[in-house]
Structure 1
Amino acid sequence: MVRVRIPLNQPGIRERASNLDLVSVAVVTGSAGFLGSHLFDCLLERGHSAICLDNLDTGSLQNIEREIVFEALPVDDPQVRQPDITRARQVLGWEPKIPLEEGLRRLLPSEEREAEAVHV
């Protein structure tokens, strides 16, 4: 998982971000769980587009039984996917604050601690 934070409080960022051709879609992680499934339903009822993501560790497919398309996602491999941040650099004037190697070194321990996460 790659997390990118865009500092919208910096001068000019909002204007540059508005030039992006983006469609507003909500991504609900944990959407097969109790809270996530209710949030997902609420978004759809209000006419929003939403993507349901869940690894089904604690969630249940019964919570998301509706006319949706189920697509099992492959395990993410950034070396295969080779993420391209060129557009973010050009349009937003954004640059990573941490080199890739350092970011991966920081990310891997958090993935190993996933099992220790608190479940509600």
Structure 2
Amino acid sequence: DDSAKAAKHQGAYAIAIRNGGGADGLAGAAQAKLVAAGLTEDNHTYALDSYAIAGGLAPTTVVYVKGTGDDAADVKEEAEKVVSALGLGSVQTFDEATAGESMDSFDIFVIVGKDALGTLQ
């Protein structure tokens, strides 16, 4: 049960979604797909924004999680649900240098890449 996991996790899962694919509305489309799959605002908070990496757009969708902490296994399991709901991407351990943004405020950090074009919209 997602609400029980969120309670164990000490509250709602904070998910950052960044549009790295270049098409307007891609982050919002990803959020809509997650909510439709049951990752609702009841136990998830969302922060959407655009994202640019050096050299242009993100080629693929990546879902980052922190590799440490008491609830790291629960967060990784939740991130796997994100990948499943989106139908693309992979879960990787967060590395600030690679992601280019701090993950201090988020449990799960999603960069929606160009591979999502035509899939999410």
TM class by shorter-chain length? under 0.3
Larger Rg: 1
Bigger relative CO (Cα 8 Å, ≥ 6 apart): 2
Select the structure that is richer in strand. Answer: 2
More helix by share: 1
TM-score (norm 2): 0.25
